[in-house]
Amino acid sequence: MLQILIYGAVSSAIYAMLAVGFTLIFGVARILNLAHGSFYALGAYSAFTMTSLLGLPLLVAAPLSVLVVALFGVAMERFLVRPLRQSQLAVLMITLAVSLAVEQALFLIFGSEYRNVPSFIAEKIAIGGVDISGQRLLALTVGVAVLLMLWLIIQRTRLGAAILAVSQDPEAAQYMGIPTNRIFSIVMAISAGTAALAGILVSPFLTVQPSMGLLPMVKAFAIVIVGGLGSIPGSIIAALILGYSETAVAYLASTAWTELVSLVAVVATLMIRPSGIFGRRAAF
Amino acid sequence: MISPFRLAAAGLIALGTTCISAVAIAQQGPIKIGIPTSIQLQVGRDTQNAAKMAVEEINAQGGLLGRKLEIVVADETENPEQGIAAIKKLTADDKVDVLIGGYTSGVTLAQLPHISNAKTIYLGIGAASPSITAKVKADYDNYKYIFRVCPINAAHQARALVDFINGKLKGDLKYSKIAIVGENAKWVQDLVPILKKGAADGGSDVRLAEFFDTSTSDFSPLFAKVKESGAQHLIVILSHASSDIFVKQWYDAQVPIPIGGIDVKSQDADFFSRVGGKAISETVALFAIRAPMTPKTIPFWDEFVKRFGTAPVYTGVGTYDAVHVYAEAVRRANSLDTDAVIKALEKTDMVGIAGKIQFDEVHDVKTGPGLQNLIFVQWQGNADRVVVWPKDSQTGKMISPPWLGN
Amino acid sequence: MQRIPWIDLLGGLLVLGILALVPMFATSNYLTGVLTVCAIYGIWASSWDFMSGLTGRENFGHALFIGSGAYTAGFMATAWYLNPWYSLPAAVVVAVLFSLIVGFPTLRLRGPYFALAMLSASAIMQRLCLIYWEYTGGEEGLYGLDPIIRSPLYYYWFVLAILAVTVLNVTLLAHAHWGLLLRAIRGDEATCQAAGINVTFYKIASLMISAAFTGLGGALYAHYQLQVSPPLFSVVVSITVIIMAYVGGVGSIYGAAIAAILLTLLTEMLRGFGEYRLWVYTLTLMLILFFLPGGLVAPTWRRLTARLR
């Protein structure tokens, strides 16, 4: 029971980091970014390259990787997405193409074998009789910290106010003197950065292989829908629900059913309450 | 004294014959070996490299029936659709004389009817499911083209594993409670029932037998279940699944149960360093290791490492053997006619790298003393690989995971 | 009813003729096989375009119909040993059934919600195939199907004929009152409803039609590959079909079919690049998607034949 509690928390934290970035860029810029999974993968691979091939210590490699991927996200938005903004389908397709290109590039550069990223914390910690690796606990702590920070930024700073303004009405925000394009870039950087951070944190104990971004992408999509597109608290709550139900199913039934959980949750949400838990009624 | 005219005439005749033969050989063209394999994986790379090595050896000695051997590679990935496309390309477009390759049983099974339609001989070197050769007996006319040189099929592997469980685990180490965990793939589904029965018959108590999805990335629930079952040793059956993560998570959580079994990814020479040393004390079943199993083993091993920088995985060993098996059969049949070569192949009795190669009635490679067998090797400190079973091949003692003490 | 421009019909006939004749000049069955797969993708892409291209409701789970058609054929062949010809109508029925089951509750959803619902549905089916591996053959799937027509060339012509029928059918529908209504629904659904049109009926009916042809294609595919496996339900297949429709020009239908043939040919022709094959393919795709957001095939054709309209 305690196992489910702790491991579920870890899963939820990672999912939340992924989902929040996804919902942020959608809520603010109306971009359904199918390349979000690529940011996750790029974060992990960047950490791998820096630690294994460049020999940098992990504490340096991690923030550097986050920066690199954030810049990549900003570049993608600026050069590939912005010219196509009139058509949502075009944006969808180009981000999809980017994710395919990234996956193939990783395949070619790093090969298909799983790569090893060293753990930040190598010890095992026992909490109330439950064995958990230090790395997982770190993932949980950092995840929660990042989400809190994000919430603080959005609620308490001017930047956050600007972001909220743009998400409500980009044109009006522009009239008020808010540089919407710059806000888009900043939000994309945050979105890509959190995804990359999630990738870096889990890479020591999960897969690092070229197609690692696909499944988390689909899960993030599912969580965001269940929580409500554009709503951060919604994403967090949905991430908790999904993380815990998956862990519970894995322990009580069998690991084969875990994927089914998120999928069924999505379908159920869509049939019962399509706008999600906290979503506004879709404005399109 | 030979008249100058006679000398000149002889010279001309010799020259003429040589020219005509050269032209004849050149016009006959090379014998093409098609290699369907997963080119982006290590098993695929070793398949290609080993084929290259074998082909160059044969060509250096004059080729086969006077003709040079040539390789054509096609990527079958791990996807049946791509696999079928690869076979079609090799047989219909490149018109190869023989196919040597394979890895994923599911892909090979999908390719079978297409290989049969193309009436091309297929020497499998990577897929283990017994279903692949089952049709040879049931429908000989259509499926006589299929042979398996490597590995020994899943049923044989299961029996070898049972031998390890009963002999080493129960016999030597006195572990009577075991757990079995395997990826949800066909060859594992074929293997596990035999494993369970054999272990139970040998007196071991199988506390848990579970399949998990090949794409699973989080094994903590699984480890928790194994711990709760009270098992003393965990037998793993992994090929496509993420052995890297499995081993890392096992190490990180310091699961108090040693692991061992069939783990294809762990056969890679660099597996130990790839997982940062976390594979220590894992016992892995191998087909060949750098030891004088036959006179060919060490020369082949050293040459392979010299040329390609890495020790070969089982598909490399199998491919090298398969090319020579084919060449030898063609020489015995003295022709490339498919039916003649098939008859010759059926009578194969050749010394391979890990043992003698002979085929049974369903064209499957035989196992037994002197033939192809599994050996159980354990990763120990400094990426050393120590043979721990069978007893007569042992090169060292079996160790426990570092956190369990010795 | 809008008449189909005669130039389009002529173009279609020309393409069909070329496709039918090409294998006769080839030296081996390889090209015939490749073209058969191209044609099947053409069936899938054009039927997707009919529903999603016209209504604007992007269906991200097209693989659901592909897989259900294919697995129907698979079960009928391996579990019940029936004559392969029966699997064709059976596949249609099963695919349509699936479209009803998933379509009813989800078609009222707007925007990305319908897309996601369909995607989830096909992913669920893929998962179930893996979980119940004792019945479905798991990852390796079902194999040992018999071909419907033994000769690769005749089978190719058969598939080509079905492609022609599919494209013609949905194009006629698209140019008729039906198509007009679907386009109106894309424009403004609320107004359509206010005007008294039974929007739900049209949406579900067009999904059913799309599913019917797709399921048929799935069965044809199964009898060509002679095996079926879970990747047929995967999101990758759905995305491939959407890309084809997109490159063809969303809504044009014939564009989707042609693009499907071209893109499938491209993946085979790029084999010369070895390991770089998919990389080149993806880059090409990115270039097309970025510089030609309206698609490649349909706009090019329209530009070429502008004078003749």
Domain architecture of chain A: domains with CATH: 2-272 (1.10.3470.10)
- For C175, the token pair is 């140019």
Q: How far is CA C153 from CA A34, C39, C224, C307, in A?
A: 40, 13, 12, 37
- Count of residues for chain C? 309
Can you tell me the mean pLDDT for C107-131?
A: 82
Q: How far apart are CA A246 and CA A222, in angstroms?
A: 13
Query: Peptide bond preceding B151: is omega within 30 degrees of 0, i.e. cis?
Result: yes
Contact with chain A for residue C273, Cβ under 8 A: no
Find the range with the poorest average confidence among B2-11, B296-305, B312-321: B2-11
Q: Is A126 on the interface with C (CB under 8 A)?
A: no
**Which of C242, C250, C283 lies closest to A101 in CB terms?**
C283
Which residues does chain A have within 8 Å of residue B212's beta carbon, measured at their own beta carbons? 254-256
Residue B322 has pLDDT above 90, yes or no: yes
CA dihedral C194, C195, C196, C201 (to 10 degrees): -90
Question: Helix or strand or coil: residue C221?
Answer: helix
Of A104, A256, A267, the CB nearest to C278: A104
Query: What pLDDT was estimated at residue B17?
Result: 47
User: How far is Cα B166 from Cα B217, in angstroms, rounded to an integer?
Assistant: 31
Residues in A closer than 8 angstroms to C293, CB to CB, are 84, 87, 90
Task: State the distance between the two ends of chain C, measured CA to CA, in whole angstroms.
Answer: 17
Do residues B165 and B242 both lie within one domain?
Answer: yes
The yes-or-no verdict on residue B6 having pLDDT over 80 is no
Residues B245 and B277 in one domain: yes
How many domains does chain B contain in total? 2
C272 part of a folded domain = no
Q: Please give the pLDDT value at position B29.
A: 84
Cβ atoms B200, B206 nearer than 8 A: yes
pLDDT of B84 strictly over 80: yes
Per-residue pLDDT reduced to its tens digit, B99-126: 999 998 888 988 999 999 899 999 999 9
Using CA atoms, how far residue A232 sits from A20, A27, A31, A226, C195, in Å, is 6, 9, 15, 12, 38
Q: Does residue B182 sit in the same domain as residue B238?
A: yes
ipTM: 0.79
Q: How many domains, chain C?
A: 1
Cβ-based interface (< 8 Å): residues of C facing B: 28-30, 33-34, 37, 130, 133, 137-141, 143-144, 225-227, 229, 231, 268, 271, 274-275, 277
Neighbours of B370 (CB within 10 A): 11
pLDDT at residue B240 above 90? no
* CA torsion angle B63 B64 B69 B75 (round to 10): -150
Classify residue C115: in a domain, yes or no. yes
Q: Is the residue at C301 inside a domain?
A: no
Task: List the CATH number of the domain containing C143.
Answer: 1.10.3470.10
Tell me the two tokens of residue A188.
């994309």
Which domain covers residue B115, as residue numbers?
30-152+293-357
Tell me: do B224 and B253 sit in the same domain: yes
- Predicted TM-score of the model (pTM): 0.83
Rounded Cα gap, residues B354 and B370, in angstroms = 9
- The CATH number of residue B76's host domain is 3.40.50.2300
Three-state SS for B405? coil
Could you report the per-residue pLDDT of B347-374, keeping only the tens digit for each? 999 999 988 999 999 999 998 888 888 8
| Domain assignment present for B17 | no
Residue A83 with chain C: CB contacts under 8 Å:
290
Query: Looking at the domain assignment, is residue B47 inside a domain?
Result: yes
C278 lies in some domain: no
Scanning the structure block, which residue is given the tokens 């912005």? A82
* Residues facing residue B99 across a β-bridge: B34, B122
Residue B23 lies in a domain: no
Separation in Å, CA C274 to CA B122, C79, C286: 22, 38, 20
Does one domain contain both B96 and B178?
Answer: no
The alpha carbon of residue C70 is apart from the nearest alpha carbon of chain A, in Å, by 22
CA distance B35 to B102: 8
DSSP letters, B141-199, are HHHTTEEE-SS--HHHHHHHHHHHIIIIIIIIS---EEEEEEESSHHHHHHHHHHHHHH
State the nearest Cα–Cα gap between B98 and chain A, in angstroms.
Answer: 28
B225 with B297, same domain: the answer is no
C235:A107 CB<8 A: no
Least confident of B253-262, B387-396, C268-277: C268-277
Is the same domain home to B251 and B274? yes
Res C283 pLDDT > 80: yes
Contact C275 A222 (CB under 8 A): no
Instruction: Pick from C60, C106, C114, C120 the residue to mutate for testing the A interface (most A CBs within 10 Å).
Output: C120
pLDDT value for B144: 93
What is the model's pLDDT at position B143?
Answer: 93
Domain that holds residue C207: 6-236
Q: Which residues of A275-284 are buried (b: 16+ CB within 10 A; e: fewer)?
A: bbbbbeebee
Average pLDDT, chain C: 87
CA distance B362 to B373: 18
Give the C-alpha separation, C66 to A10, whole Å.
37
B318 pLDDT above the threshold of 60:
yes
For residue B63, the number of C-alpha atoms closer than 13 Å in the C-beta half-sphere is 14
Token pair for C81 = 């040993």
Q: Check residue A68 and give its pLDDT.
A: 94
pLDDT digits (tens), chain A, 284 positions: 777 888 888 888 999 999 998 888 888 887 888 899 999 999 999 988 888 888 888 788 889 999 999 999 999 999 988 888 887 778 888 898 899 889 888 888 887 777 777 777 666 677 766 667 777 888 888 889 998 898 888 888 888 888 888 888 888 888 888 888 888 999 999 999 999 999 998 888 777 888 888 888 888 888 888 888 777 888 888 898 888 888 888 887 777 777 788 788 778 877 777 777 776 543 22
Q: How far is CA C233 from CA A92, B247, C58, in A?
A: 21, 31, 17
Tell me if residue B209 falls in helix, strand or coil. Answer: strand
Look-up: residue for tokens 């043939």?
Answer: C261
Respond yes or no on whether the N-terminal peptide bond of residue A57 is cis (omega within 30° of 0).
Answer: no
Q: Which token pair is B39? A: 């080119």
Q: For residues B169 and B279, state if they share a domain.
A: yes
Are B140 and B197 part of one and the same domain? no
C113: pLDDT strictly greater than 90 = no
* B125 and B176 housed in the same domain: no
* pLDDT tens digits, B14-44: 455 444 544 544 457 899 999 999 887 888 9
Write the single-letter amino acid at A45.
Answer: Y
B212 pLDDT higher than 80:
yes
Q: Say if CB C79 and CB C273 are below 8 A apart.
A: no
Model confidence pLDDT, tens digit, residues B325-338: 999 999 999 999 99
Q: Is the pLDDT of residue C66 over 90?
A: yes
Residues 6 or more apart in contact with residue C208 via CB below 8 angstroms: C96, C99, C100, C103
* B388 and B255 fall within a common domain: yes
Q: What is the spatial distance between Cα B252 and Cα A204, in angstroms, rounded to a whole number?
A: 10
At A119, the amino acid letter reads S
SS3 call for B336: coil
Contact A31, A77 (CB under 8 A): yes
CB atoms within 10 A of CB B16: 10
* Region B50-55 average pLDDT: 95
C49 within domain boundaries: yes
Under DSSP, is residue A282 helix (H, G, I), strand (E, B) or coil? coil
In a domain, C252, yes or no: no
In a domain, B20, yes or no: no
- Residues B306 and B261 placed together within one structural domain of the fold: no
Alpha-carbon distance B111 to B67, whole Å?
A: 28
From A140, A99, A126, select the one nearest A15 (Cα to Cα).
A140
The arithmetic mean of pLDDT across residues B165-177, rounded, is 85
Given a cut of 80, whether residue B1 has pLDDT beyond it is no
